Amino acid sequence: AQSVTQLDSHVSVSEGTPVLLRCNYSSSYSPSLFWYVQHPNKGLQLLLKYTSAATLVKGINGFEAEFKKSETSFHLTKPSAHMSDAAEYFCVVTLTDSWGKLQFGAGTQVVVTP
């Protein structure tokens, strides 16, 4: 079985400062990992994905994440937060033999202050 834990339910950052959203996963097999973002009244948008290629993954809007197998982590970072980054972020895992059955983390609400 696989699962994903987002270590922070809320993160507050100042505009222009770095963002770190933490995610740990557990999986018996080789996982695929994703970060999705949800802005208010919008659908879930894919930020980036890891599917067993490069461990450092770059996504949209300046976000990146690093897959660390030894730490079972897939933390999301951005060097400089923008007001438009205020949203809810979900770390998601799926097994390679169960395509589409995504396991979501509880989400991290990001607040960006001027």
Partner 1 sequence: EPEVTQTPSHQVTQMGQEVILRCVPISNHLYFYWYRQILGQKVEFLVSFYNNEISEKSEIFDDQFSVERPDGSNFTLKIRSTKLEDSAMYFCASSGKGFTEAFFGQGTRLTVV
Q: State which of residues 1, 41, 70, 114 lies at the interface with partner 1 (CB under 8 A).
A: 41
Binding segment for partner 1 among 13-21, 22-30, 33-41, 78-86 (CB under 8 A)? 33-41
44 binds partner 1, rule: CB under 8 A: yes
Query: What Rg, from alpha-carbon coordinates, does the chain have?
Result: 13
Structural tokens at position 64: 């990146």
β-strand pairing of 87-95 with 23-26: unpaired
Q: How far is the CB of 44 from partner 1 (least distance, A)?
A: 4
Q: State which of residues 43, 56, 70, 114 lies at the interface with partner 1 (CB under 8 A).
A: 43
Q: Under 8 Å CB-to-CB from 73, ≥6 apart: which residues?
A: 22, 23, 24, 25, 66, 67
86 binds partner 1, rule: CB under 8 A: no
Q: How far is the CB of 14 from partner 1 (least distance, A)?
A: 27
104 binds partner 1, rule: CB under 8 A: yes
- Tell me the sheet residues that pair with 14: 113
- Tell me the sheet residues that pair with 106: none
Q: By CB under 8 A, how many residues form the interface with partner 1?
A: 21
Q: In this structure, which amino acid lies at residue 77?
A: T
- Residue numbers at the binding site for partner 1 (CB under 8 A): 34, 36, 41-46, 49, 51, 90, 98-107
